[in-house]
Amino acid sequence: MHYFSCRVLIPLALALLQGSGSDSAVADELRVPAFTAYSLPDADRIRFTEQDGVTRWNDNAQSVNWYGLFRQTGDVNVAVELTLPESAESKLRLRVGDQTREVSVSGKGRDAVVVAGFGSLSISSVGYHQFQLESLNENGKPFGSIQTLVLSGNAVADCHFNLKERRNAASVHLMYPVPEDTQIAAFYCEVTAVEEPVTTFYMACGWHRGYFGMQVNSTDERRIIFSVWDSGNEAVDRDKVADENRVKLMGKGEGVFSGDFGNEGTGGHSHLKYMWKTGETQKFIVTAEPVEKTYTIYSGYWFHPEDKTWMLISSWKAPGEGGYMRGPHSFSENFWGSTGHVVRKARYGNQWIRNDRGEWRELTKAKFSHDPTGKSDRLDRFMGVEDGQFFLSHGGFVDGFSKYGEPFDRPATGKAPSDLDLPVIEKK
């Protein structure tokens, strides 16, 4: 992944200048692909593809939206390229802040590009700005297949748009530094969701062989997820993993689904469908039990908010181990790109690890990191401390960002987990 700066500019075509009503020469142009935009208010109502741009736009209650970071104020000339059936008319409105422009264009045929020029608008402040395209056509009439948002003018220099088809917000992480020789037999963390957009995974307890957290799958489905990776180097297809390298299910809780996963490494997956509540703290703990220096049993437990008891999600025998957990971390992920324009935020607090001697140690330090998308494609990614807890936030095209590797400290609670009446797992 990499990001195109608005410094990568090309001359503006005279046709666009004429279409926008401008008769002054403009030196530079930025072309923002339609497939990088978002549909509002229904994120999945319009189709976005790299090959065809915006298609299946036939509901005038839905709009097409681009977001860009402007580092200087000034004027911006705006045009939209689209295709329309021959002689079809499309009436379009563009909104930027409290400014609106309306134009009508006529189609020249299926593959012929026409230009809707909206003229000059003002960027009066630095920061992110939304370019919202609306149709004024009646439903049932062609709106047009949108190809490109075209920008030029003095405000365009040094601006920042994501020009990639991947529209996900960056994945963001809390990395908890511990000495390399620490024998982590248990890892405890609490997570409180602040925002609840769909296609979000708030991961509480991550380590070198797996992850444990809570997910928003849809408006009416949420999950508690615990997964452990196989040994070996297969990244996609678990059918290619030899039996001796596969993790084996040792046990699971009532109502928990278990199965395989692939395409991100391979391994054993489990989840419980449960409508956990935003604003309500969820408690997680992972344990590691080495056996004969050849494998380790990893078990994930979640505290049921209604039953007030610890519940086993699942337990897995992981080959190629025989040791304890390494690399404790937490993260937040936007796993479907159509909702990448929405803010997702959670607080992560009261982190503890327990060593092989049964001694608890509180984790009050963390470093911020992000995936390659956050390096240059999407800069709206943050970490901080709030209400005595770390927080992670990403998406929403919010001004500012946190630096990769930036360290943070939260205040200590001094209260090690004490209500750990964990279910006993029978060894197989």
Q: What does residue 236 show for φ and ψ, rounded to 5 degrees?
A: -125, -55
Q: Are residues 157 and 207 in the same domain?
A: no
Higher pLDDT, 386 or 13: 386
Q: Are residues 185 and 324 in the same domain?
A: yes
User: How many domains is the chain partitioned into structurally?
Assistant: 2
The CATH number of the domain holding residue 140 is 2.60.120.260
- Rounded distance between C-alpha atoms, residue 135 and residue 142, angstroms: 10
pLDDT tens sequence across 150-172: 999 999 999 999 999 999 999 99
Q: Are residues 263 and 379 in the same domain?
A: yes
Looking at residues 41-59, what average pLDDT do you find?
A: 95
pLDDT tens sequence across 296-342: 999 999 999 999 999 999 999 999 999 999 999 999 999 999 999 99
Q: Residue 36: pLDDT above 50?
A: yes
Q: Residue 402, exposed/middle/buried by CB under 10 A (0-12, 13-18, 19+)?
A: buried
Contacts (Cβ under 8 Å, ≥6 apart) of 226: 210, 211, 212, 270, 271, 286, 300, 313, 314
Over the range 278-314, which residues count as b (16 or more CB within 10 Å of their CB) and which as e?
A: eeebbbbbbbbbbeeeebbbbbbbbbbeeeeebbbbb
Q: Are residues 148 and 241 in the same domain?
A: no
Looking at residues 365-384, what average pLDDT do you find?
A: 97
Q: How many CA atoms lie within 13 Å of 358's alpha carbon, on the beta-carbon side?
A: 2
Contact (Cβ atoms closer than 8 angstroms) between residue 91 and residue 135:
yes
Range from 27-31, 266-270, 346-350 carrying the lowest mean pLDDT: 27-31
Q: Which of 110, 135, 161 is the last residue of a domain?
A: 161
Q: Residue 129: pLDDT above 50?
A: yes
- Rounded distance between C-alpha atoms, residue 129 and residue 2, angstroms: 21
Q: Which of the four pLDDT bands, split at 50, 70 and 90, describes residue 109?
A: confident
Q: Are residues 150 and 187 in the same domain?
A: no
Q: Are residues 235 and 352 in the same domain?
A: yes
Q: Are residues 99 and 184 in the same domain?
A: no
Q: Are residues 186 and 156 in the same domain?
A: no
The CATH number of the domain holding residue 229 is 2.60.120
| pLDDT on residue 292 | 86
Q: What are 18's two structure tokens?
A: 């004429």
Looking at residues 256-271, what average pLDDT do you find?
A: 94
Q: Of all helices (H) and strands (E), which one includes residue 116?
A: strand 109-123
Portion of the chain with pLDDT greater than 90, in percent: 88
What residue numbers bound the domain in which 352 lies?
172-409
